Structure 1
């Protein structure tokens, strides 16, 4: 009788084991199925993310191309406005498109003004500095020809001061000179000599002597609207 009970117990245990194994298999299948679904979702999400990044990259490239086109167009308009303004300036030196203050002359990228007050060299430097400008320097052929055309007589230049009096030199030689001032000098006295232009030559005199002078500074960009809108329908200029 006890053996039958033992056998029944064993059958019951085997049945329980099979049931547990079946349940584990079912759970395993569910976990596998869930993981497979989640992996599929993850792959879809990754694909979506990659597609989104591609679209963003394409949009950025498109925006950069548009920005470059806009910049190129802006530069072209600026060049046209500048050329037109130069023509208008030749006809009327006080034309409102001029990128220089009212009483200043315009040449290439710079503005110039002749000051007929008599000042020491140092006072001339200080006056120009107050106008956000500096004493005239002649560093290229174009500026040289522009200045020669003015036939200036007795104007201080932005040449470095000297401790010894120098003989005069032809103004044409100055564009290859290393003597042009690179910064304002604060300690110029009556023992030093400064350069000035007189017609086609450069001379030196005591820096405390009083002469006229000419200032220069960078011109502002030409305003497109003040140039392109300046010509009236009847051919006259505002």
Structure 2
């Protein structure tokens, strides 16, 4: 019947990198299906790997280990990600909130000329993000903590924040209910 919502058990194919944490559409057309861990039956959801946090379509991994900036960058690459790049105030606020008093490397490095700071994607640090000065005389790599964005010696061991895009799961308006994951359509199985 039109207007009725049918609950269905979703059997996702094995995907070790998908977590039950999802960010889904918001509003009256969305609801929570607690049995499956999904938060919507219409629209689309975004998933992050287990142990990663979702924010604005991206997944963030906060390490518990401490390494140099270069070692941190390599770890993120091994996870199919990169050190976090901050392009919006909301992302900086999210990272500083989660960081609290800990210090984490991010994907920011001072150029070889020493005059400008660049993110790993090649973009220059926007003027709306101030780099807090450190007592260290060699300021070359970016980091984030509860007090904001700062620079320091790349060789210092700190935690790090990896970033990658969330996986999208799109609900299809069909009968029986189905969803699109990547290029494959999956049909929802009833009880």
TM-score, structure 2 normalization: 0.54
Larger-Rg structure: 1
Per-residue Cα deviation, 1:121-178 (whole angstroms, up to 9, x for no partner)? 0010000011111111110122122223212521001102356999xxxxxxxxxx96
Is 2:139 the counterpart of 1:200?
no
Structure 1: how far apart are the matches of 2:88 and 2:109?
17
Instruction: Compare the two structures and name the one with the higher strand fraction.
Output: 2
Instruction: Return the match for 2:157 from 204, 210, 220.
Output: 210
Instruction: Return the match for 2:121 from 158, 173, 182.
Output: 182
Question: CA offset at residue 229 of structure 1?
Answer: 6.4
Q: Secondary structure at the match of 1:139?
A: coil
Structure 2: how far apart are the matches of 1:87 and 1:143?
26
Is 2:42 the counterpart of 1:103?
no
Instruction: Return the match for 1:138 from 76, 81, 86.
Output: 86
Per-residue Cα deviation, 1:6-26 (whole angstroms, up to 9, x for no partner)? xxxxxxxxxxxxxxxxxxxxx
- Where structure 2 has 5 or more consecutive residues not aligned to the other structure, the ranges are 1-22, 40-45, 123-137, 172-177, 180-186
Which residue does the alignment assign to 1:126? 74
Question: CA offset at residue 101 of structure 1?
Answer: 0.7
Structure 2: how far apart are the matches of 1:156 and 1:109?
21
Is 2:25 the counterpart of 1:83?
yes
What is the aligned length? Answer: 133
Question: CA offset at residue 88 of structure 1?
Answer: 4.9
State how 1:31-180 maps to structure 2 within 5 Å.
82-83=24-25, 88=32, 95=37, 99-150=47-98, 151=100, 153-161=102-110, 179-180=118-119
Per-residue Cα deviation, 1:79-114 (whole angstroms, up to 9, x for no partner)? xx9316x9759x9xx935751111111112111111
Distance 1:152 1:217, change over 3 A: farther
Moved over 6 A (4+): none
